[in-house]
Chains A and B, each alone.
Chain A
Amino acid sequence: DAKTTQPTSMDCAEGRAANLPCNHSTISGNEYVYWYRQIHSQGPQYIIHGLKNNETNEMASLIITEDRKSSTLILPHATLRDTAVYYCIVTLGGDKIIFGKGTRLHILP
């Protein structure tokens, strides 16, 4: 079973920040949090990952709570092309990587 819990779906207005939450209350000290997204009819695409500190790259920001039991992926200025299923995963590495059902994000024009 996936080690994460995400809302089934979310809506966000185009141009606004999309904040996607993820709960991982059983995360262990060495497990990383990874985010992927899957646009329709394509393979999933890596977005960002982190261990303890907040991270930012050209695609998104990742905010991890101090207790590491939850995280939020932030797409700062959502566009229609960001409509996708977003997956939050925790992994130790060198192990099977389990995807949950993810959050279906709809960007509204």
Chain B
Amino acid sequence: DVKVTQSSRYLVKRTGEKVFLECVQDMDHENMFWYRQDPGLGLRLIYFSYDVKMKEKGDIPEGYSVSREKKERFSLILESASTNQTSMYLCASSFWGRAFATNEKLFFGSGTQLSVL
């Protein structure tokens, strides 16, 4: 089975801290995604990546950056955490790159609940 592993299930940080959320997948997937999920707002795409060192902005990239130095790892970085970044963060990966979506199944991690105090 495909496994997408997020480094922490729960995280508590202080305002202004630099926060790293790590995600690792074990199926050699090209695509990786970071979403955040808030009550009433659903899942919103922050950033995604098609390949190593590639990144694309999603719908809400402000206040975030990402790093993809290795194919299996996609990191989400909060440069200076703020209280409005308190949220559930979900990482996902999928196999198909820039092609038709014949196999664009997304595999999600269990999520990281981040609280910024």
Binding site for B on A (CB under 8 A): 30-32, 34, 36, 41-46, 49, 87, 91-94, 96-102
Contact = CB atoms under 8 A, between A and B. Distances in A.
B108 interface: yes
Contacts of A31: 101
Given A44-B108, A94-B31, 10 more contacts: A31-B101, A43-B90, A44-B43, A45-B108, A91-B104, A93-B99, A96-B58, A97-B48, A97-B104, A101-B42
Most chain A CB inside 10 Å of its own CB: which residue of B56, B101, B105: B101
Contacts of B92: 43-44
B96 interface: yes
Contacts of A30: 100-101
A22 to B, nearest CB: 14
Closest 10 CB pairs of A and B: A43-B108, A93-B101, A94-B98, A99-B43, A101-B42, A32-B101, A46-B105, A93-B100, A91-B101, A93-B104
Nearest to B41: A101
Nearest to B4: A43
B97 interface: yes
A43 B96 contact: no
Contacts, number: 77
Interface of B is mostly: loop
24 contacts: A34-B101, A36-B106, A41-B111, A43-B90, A43-B109, A43-B110, A44-B43, A44-B90, A44-B92, A45-B108, A46-B107, A49-B104, A49-B105, A93-B96, A93-B100, A93-B101, A94-B96, A96-B33, A96-B58, A97-B45, A97-B48, A98-B45, A98-B59, A102-B42
> In which size bucket is the chain B interface?
20 to 34
Nearest to B100: A93
Interface of B: 4, 31, 33, 35, 40-45, 48, 50, 56, 58-59, 90, 92, 94, 96-102, 104-111
Contacts of A96: 33, 45, 48, 56, 58-59
